[in-house]
């Protein structure tokens, strides 16, 4: 796997893990690639808080989408 394959995979809106980064990017019309990069950095910098926020958003974001 080279860097081009990795960038292509990160740009795809298909779900990875629980899809929070893709849902967040879609909700706020952000780039899926950069949203995933920011999430990865947040989890790497502070794993406990990053994962807690990530899984809380995994529960909340689908409910936001249904109300629209």
Query: In 10 A of CB 3, how many CB atoms?
Result: 7
Tell the residue number behind the tokens 């947040």, with chain if given: 42
| Statement: the pTM of the whole predicted model exceeds 0.85 | no
- Residue 21: which of 43, 41, 38, 5 has the closest Cα? 38
Q: How does pLDDT run across 5-52, given as a tens digit for each residue?
A: 878 877 876 666 667 788 788 888 888 888 888 888 888 999 998 888
Q: Is the pLDDT of residue 67 over 60?
A: no
Q: Please give the pLDDT value at position 46.
A: 92
Task: Give the model's pLDDT for residue 1.
Answer: 66
pLDDT value for 68: 46
| Contact status, residue 24 vs residue 62, Cβ threshold 8 Å | no
């Amino acid at each position: 796997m080279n860097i081009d394959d990795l960038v292509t995979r990160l740009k795809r809106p298909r779900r990875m893990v629980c899809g929070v980064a893709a849902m967040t990017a879609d909700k706020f019309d952000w780039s899926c690639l950069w949203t995933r990069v920011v999430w990865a950095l947040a989890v790497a910098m502070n794993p406990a808080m990053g994962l807690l926020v990530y899984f809380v958003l995994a529960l909340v974001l689908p409910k936001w989408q249904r109300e629209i």
